Amino acid sequence: MWTGVILMCSVIVENDCVAIGGPTFSTQEECLIDLQKKGLPYVTQKFYDHKAIDYQCVHWGERT
């Protein structure tokens, strides 16, 4: 199970950052594609006064 996470930091206030997570995916490839095509454009628009610093997919292991 993979989840995309994006670190967004304010361009106005120093040290004002937030991590935003998305839905889960079966593979890392699916996760990265979703982050790039949907996640980054969405958070960039929603948090217009923040900049995307980094993003990655987190592997949580198998669902139990």
Residue 31 located in a structural domain = yes
What pLDDT is stored for residue 37 in this prediction?
Answer: 97
Q: Which residues span the domain enclosing 34?
A: 2-59
Question: Domain count of the chain?
Answer: 1
> How does pLDDT run across 4-42, given as a tens digit for each residue?
999 999 999 988 999 999 999 999 999 999 999 999 999
pLDDT band at 64 (very low <50, low <70, confident <90, very high): low
pTM (global) more than 0.75: yes
What pLDDT is stored for residue 61 in this prediction?
Answer: 82
Distances (CA, A) of 37 to 15, 31, 51: 27, 10, 17
The answer to whether residues 47 and 3 touch, using CB atoms and an 8 Å cutoff, is: no
pLDDT band at 62 (very low <50, low <70, confident <90, very high): confident
